[in-house]
């Protein structure tokens, strides 16, 4: 009888200790994309990539509780870019100043559970390059007409962001991430028709009360296929032959059009 009583007292204590360990486990994020490769052909008109994931060791009671914030960032290959400013001189609009940035993502899309300035402070966003205003844009020291005033540099940065948004290469969705369960979430990332071909780096961040709990990284590759890939490879690997063939086709098309539609005298 004493042995049974001792065992009955030991089991509840063991179960309670196990629950405490699980509750203290650190939250983290796991995610993936619906596809790892997107084919770019001559008929490509854009597409969307589904990003889905889960919060490990979630303590969120329901999907709408708002315990966590998730930010999804997709970046294209960084490349240098030049921004020029036009001014009216003598009745003509001409380039009067320019600035070259050493590196800028060729494509940048961000989706979040709410506006990012409500998720974390500027220092955290800057450290992780989250948001248009926090993307690393370092002016290259080229001299010449490049402005050096801090306010003027900020103006060039804003102009560059505005141009990228107009081209649909910088995309923002403040409420583009949605929880569909206490731990599951999903988001869609739009790829416009003019998205640069190459690898895309996807980063998923998990926040709680402004603190970064974890992040997950993945990659999606954009590759040319079909005739477009053949033409691109020919232009890159055999530029002389590609140029001769292009000229020959242009002359042939011009002669064919001249015989097919002769001008009446």
Residues 210-257 pLDDT 10s: 999 999 999 998 887 766 655 656 566 777 776 777 787 788 887 777
In a domain, 168, yes or no: yes
Which residues on adjacent β-strands are paired with residue 130?
none
**Mean pLDDT within 66-76:** 95
In a domain, 230, yes or no: no
Q: If we measure between CA atoms, which residue out of 203, 209, 199 comes closest to residue 53?
A: 203
In a domain, 16, yes or no: no
**Mean pLDDT within 76-96:** 82
- Higher pLDDT: 193 or 42? It is 193
Q: If we measure between CA atoms, which residue out of 226, 232, 109, 121 comes closest to residue 173?
A: 109
10 phi and psi, to 5 degrees? -75, -35
pLDDT over 90 percentage in the chain: 47
Domain extent at residue 39: 25-224
Element (H, E) at 86: strand 78-89
From CA 41, how far away is CA 31, in angstroms rounded? 28
> Residues near 17 by Cβ (< 8 Å), separated by ≥ 6?
none
In a domain, 264, yes or no: no
In a domain, 66, yes or no: yes
Burial profile 182-199: b = 16 or more Cβ within 10 angstroms, e = fewer? bbebbbbbbbeeebebee
Q: If we measure between CA atoms, which residue out of 222, 117, 106, 115 comes closest to residue 164?
A: 106
* Strand, coil or helix: 140: coil
* The pLDDT value given to residue 249: 76
**Mean pLDDT within 17-41:** 71
> Helices (H) and strands (E) in the chain — how many of each?
5, 12
In a domain, 253, yes or no: no
Q: Quick one: CA dihedral 231, 233, 239, 241, positive or negative?
A: negative
* The pLDDT value given to residue 7: 35
**Mean pLDDT within 22-27:** 62
In a domain, 10, yes or no: no
* The pLDDT value given to residue 124: 95
**Mean pLDDT within 155-173:** 93
Q: Quick one: CA dihedral 148, 152, 156, 158, positive or negative?
A: positive
User: Tell me, what CATH number does 30's domain have?
Assistant: 2.60.40.2550
In a domain, 112, yes or no: yes
* The pLDDT value given to residue 147: 55
**Mean pLDDT within 51-72:** 94
**Mean pLDDT within 117-135:** 94
The domain tally of the chain equals 1
DSSP classification of residue 76? -
């Amino acid at each position: 009888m004493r042995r049974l009583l001792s065992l009955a007292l030991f089991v509840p204590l063991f179960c309670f200790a196990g629950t405490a360990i699980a509750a203290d486990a650190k939250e983290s994020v796991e995610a993936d994309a619906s596809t790892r490769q997107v084919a770019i052909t001559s008929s490509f008109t854009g597409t969307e990539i589904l990003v889905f994931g889960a919060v490990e060791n979630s303590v969120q009671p329901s999907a709408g509780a708002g315990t966590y914030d998730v930010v999804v960032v997709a970046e294209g290959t960084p490349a240098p870019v030049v921004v020029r400013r036009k001014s009216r001189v003598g009745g003509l609009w001409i380039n009067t100043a320019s600035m070259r940035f050493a590196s800028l993502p060729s494509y940048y899309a961000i989706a979040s559970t709410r506006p990012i300035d409500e998720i974390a402070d500027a220092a955290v966003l800057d450290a992780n390059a989250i948001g248009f205003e926090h993307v690393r844009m370092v002016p290259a020291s080229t001299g010449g007409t490049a402005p050096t005033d801090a306010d003027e540099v900020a103006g060039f940065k804003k102009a560059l962001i505005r141009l990228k948004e107009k081209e649909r290469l910088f995309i923002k969705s403040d409420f583009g991430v949605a929880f569909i369960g206490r731990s599951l979430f999903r988001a869609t990332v739009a790829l416009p028709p003019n998205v640069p071909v190459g690898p895309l780096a996807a980063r998923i961040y998990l926040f709680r009360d402004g603190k970064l709990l974890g992040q997950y990284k993945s990659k999606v590759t954009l590759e040319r296929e079909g005739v477009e890939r053949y033409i691109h490879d020919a232009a890159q690997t055999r530029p002389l032959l590609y140029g001769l063939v292009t000229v020959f086709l242009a002359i042939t098309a011009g002669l064919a059009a001249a015989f097919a539609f002769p001008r009446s005298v």
